[in-house]
C-alpha cells in the first residue's frame, strides 16, 4: 500500500507509548515495519493532543463537520 504525501494525512490523537507504531510516526519515521514489511511513510503525519483518543461517534462526526472541504475518505483505527 502506498500513500502519496500531499493527498494523505495520518492524524494521531492522544498519547503514543514509546516503541509503538504511532510513536514512530509522530517522531517522524521515514519508514515503519508492519507485519514484517518495511513501509515507506508517504503521508503527512500530524498529532493533536486536545482530541481524546476515546472520543465517541458523535464527537468524531462533530469534529469532521468542521472541515470546509471534507476528506474523500476517513479511516478510524482504535486499538
Asked if the structure places residue 42 within a domain, the reply is: yes
Asked if the structure places residue 73 within a domain, the reply is: no
Domain range for 44 is 5-64
Q: How far, in Å, CA of 33 to CA of 24, rounded?
A: 10
Q: What is the pTM of this model?
A: 0.62
Asked if the structure places residue 45 within a domain, the reply is: yes
Confidence (pLDDT) at 36? 95
Q: How far, in Å, CA of 29 to CA of 42, rounded?
A: 10
Burial of 45 (0-12, 13-18, 19+ CB in 10 A): middle
Asked if the structure places residue 74 within a domain, the reply is: no
* The total number of structural domains that make up the chain: 1
Confidence (pLDDT) at 52? 63
Give tens-digit pLDDT for 18-54: 999 999 999 999 999 999 999 999 899 998 876 665 6
Asked if the structure places residue 72 within a domain, the reply is: no
Amino acid at each position: 500500500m502506498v500513500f502519496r504525501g500531499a493527498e494523505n494525512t495520518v492524524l494521531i490523537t492522544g498519547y503514543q507509548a514509546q516503541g509503538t507504531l504511532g510513536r514512530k510516526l509522530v517522531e517522524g519515521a521515514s519508514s515503519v515495519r508492519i507485519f514484517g514489511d518495511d513501509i515507506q511513510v508517504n503521508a503527512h503525519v500530524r498529532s493533536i493532543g486536545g482530541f481524546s483518543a476515546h472520543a465517541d461517534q458523535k464527537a468524531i462526526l462533530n469534529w469532521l463537520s468542521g472541515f470546509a472541504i471534507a476528506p474523500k475518505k476517513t479511516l478510524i483505527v482504535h486499538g
